[in-house]
Amino acid sequence: MLRLVLLSFLLLPLLAFAPKPVYTLKGKAVRIIDGDTFDLLAGSTTHRIRLAGIDAPEKKQEFSDASKQLLGQLCNGQVLTVVVTDTDRNKRKIAEVYTQQKVWINKEMISKGMAWHFVKYSSNKELASAEQKARKQKIGLWSINYPVAPWDWRKKK
């Protein structure tokens, strides 16, 4: 019994390094905050959702309104499947989000030139490819000469 207690005591700190559990929510977007964040109503609970792997223009930044508007259009009237992979320091649920038609909203935002692939937090090849394609086609924010990435814009503010 003492061995079991000792072993448990020694292994307990390893739980801090265990991968975060992944779980799924289903619900409707009830408020669009910006191009990468919205509030999801799942049952009677509202969850703040941050799209994983992307970073959309900040408020007062070029394409901010267009990015927010596109996210609203993609979510409008949809029962969304939200696959939560983590929680950030602001207690937002980091998630992959899909429509009823299986459209991956995270990727769609990048494909339409309304968000960057957030390489600091994502190594997803599909998102990277979507950004390269949007850049090449000069879609959305890639239509201007020198788009400023949100992480650079935040540093200046």
Catalytic residues: 50, 58, 92
Buried b (16+ CB within 10 A) or exposed e, 5-44: eeeeeeeeeeeeeeeeeeeebebebeebbbbbbbbbebee
The secondary structure of residue 152, as a DSSP letter, is H
The secondary structure of residue 155, as a DSSP letter, is H
* Separation of alpha carbons 119 and 81, rounded Å: 23
Mention every residue, 6+ apart, whose C-beta is less than 8 A from residue 74. 99, 103, 105, 108, 109
